[in-house]
Amino acid sequence: MDKALFCIYAGGVLHLGWTVFHLLFPRIFQWQKALEPLDSLNRSIMQVLNLCLTFYFAVAAYLSLAFAPELLNTPLGRKLVAVFAAFWLLRLALQQRFFRMVHPASLLLSAAFLLTMLAYGIPLVMAGR
């Protein structure tokens, strides 16, 4: 298996991990208690945004694992790979902007965001050669 294909499959596995992680958000972050001070609208927005992100991660995982060769070898596929890489680059930048980068969890998440971005960014760079 070539390196680019391996990276896309790795990105799919990472997206599966992000899917599970986001499904666990209510439990991990104790949303029943933590979101209680919010009004109904803002509480609902938090939950809906999380579920939409979870859906995106599941779709990205599916596309990466089921259609990796097509993602690498078609113009539309390469555009999707670029979108996946850009999403994670944006997420990494937002982590730096909104969260304290001294907390170990923030550093670990930043590393995971970078790894996911590289899983899609490396094949893009390789295709550009």
Instruction: For the chain, give every domain's residue range.
Output: 3-127
| Whole-angstrom distance, CA of residue 88 vs CA of residue 29 | 22
CA distances from 64 to 18, 27, 82, 98, 128 (A): 14, 28, 12, 29, 19
pTM over 0.75: yes
Residue-level pLDDT at 111:
96
Cα–Cα distance between 68 and 100 in angstroms, integer? Answer: 35
The pLDDT assigned to 29 comes to 95
pLDDT, residue 80, reads: 98
Tokens coding 117: 């971005």
User: CA Rg, the chain, in Å?
Assistant: 16
Residue 1, pLDDT score:
72
pLDDT along the chain (129 residues), means of 10: 94 98 97 96 97 98 98 97 98 92 90 98 87
